[in-house]
């Protein structure tokens, strides 16, 4: 959304301004505004939809001026190894997914799209495109995420059916899932596709039935697949691949 005053000076919604400036995803920026971390001309911002004027207004984040610039949008696909945190920094000094990127990708405002637990491997996207992040993570778009699961023991038919229909966890019923037995990528013995993003959801779904997930790897998000990308490696996605990822859940 673009506003234009009668004098011809262009304005942008504060949310769009901050996302375009590389301050984070839409969700992160909204949270920062709610916490009072953003000010416009010395006054705390109260609405993420308020119009701001890049040419005239002084916008600060945690007291520091925000320089407006439309960054080149980048999307990387990473095959996340075990032990890395899916975050941009850690106050305890632990290694994050950004730490394994080359220097050329530092300072571009990249952040993870969604998250993978430190003990989960596989497909993770990194970007500085807040609008893309919104479309890939918001529940209304129901993006399919496929995981390979290694668990000791095999599900009984009724247990498999239960997981597919949904199970009651401490944060509510899970949405329907798709589960199949596999043998093409040992030691993984199951494939499961979910359309939610709850914390440790797949592990909790199996634990609900008494099974412990020993290894978990995400191999697909939408139409994006990990394929032959080696663990710890990454590649830049093309515009065609990004469009394909969004096509699965276009509304």
- Which runs of consecutive H residues, i.e. helices, occur in the chain? 14-20, 26-34, 130-137, 157-165, 201-208, 239-247
Task: Bin 232: left if φ > 0, else alpha if -120 < ψ < 50, else beta.
Answer: left
DSSP 185: S
Sign for the CA dihedral angle at 31, 36, 40, 46 comes to: positive
Q: Are 237 and 123 in contact, with CB atoms under 8 Å apart?
A: no
Whether 117 is a known active-site residue: answer: yes
Residue 69 has phi, psi (to 5 degrees) of -155, 140
What is the number of other CB atoms lying within 10 angstroms of the CB of residue 221? 23
Q: How many CA atoms lie within 13 A of 91 on its CB side?
A: 0
DSSP 100: G
Secondary structure, 3-state, 127-149: ECCHHHHHHHHCHHHCCCEEEEE
What is the number of other CB atoms lying within 10 angstroms of the CB of residue 153? 11
Percent of the chain that is helix, strand, coil (3-state, to 5): 25, 25, 50
State the catalytic residue, choosing from 99, 117, 119, 171: 117
Q: Is 154 helix (H, G, I), strand (E, B) or coil?
A: coil
- Report, as residue numbers or ranges, the catalytic residues: 117
């Amino acid at each position: 959304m673009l506003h234009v005053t009668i004098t011809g000076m262009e304005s942008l919604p504060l949310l769009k301004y901050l996302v375009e400036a590389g301050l984070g995803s839409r969700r992160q920026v909204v949270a920062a505004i709610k916490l009072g971390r953003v000010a416009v001309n010395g006054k705390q911002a109260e609405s993420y939809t308020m119009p701001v004027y890049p040419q005239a207004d002084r916008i600060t984040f945690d007291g520091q001026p925000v320089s407006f610039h439309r960054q080149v949008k980048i999307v990387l696909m990473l095959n996340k190894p075990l032990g890395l945190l899916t975050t941009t920094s850690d106050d305890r000094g632990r290694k994050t997914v950004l730490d394994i990127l080359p220097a050329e990708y530092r300072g571009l405002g990249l952040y993870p799209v969604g998250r993978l637990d430190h003990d989960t491997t596989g497909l993770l996207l990194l970007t500085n495109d807040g609008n893309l992040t919104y479309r890939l993570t918001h529940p209304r778009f129901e993006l399919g995420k496929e995981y390979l699961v290694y668990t000791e023991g095999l599900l009984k038919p009724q247990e498999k059916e239960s997981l597919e229909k949904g199970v009651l966890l401490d944060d509510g019923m899970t949405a329907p899932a798709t589960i199949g037995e596999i043998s093409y990528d040992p030691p993984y013995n199951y494939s499961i596709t979910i359309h939610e993003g709850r914390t440790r959801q797949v592990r909790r779904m199996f634990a609900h039935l008494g099974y412990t997930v020993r290894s978990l790897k995400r191999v697909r998000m939408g139409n994006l697949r990990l394929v032959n990308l080696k663990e710890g490696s990454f590649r830049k996605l093309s515009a065609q691949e990004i469009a394909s990822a969004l096509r699965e859940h276009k509304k």
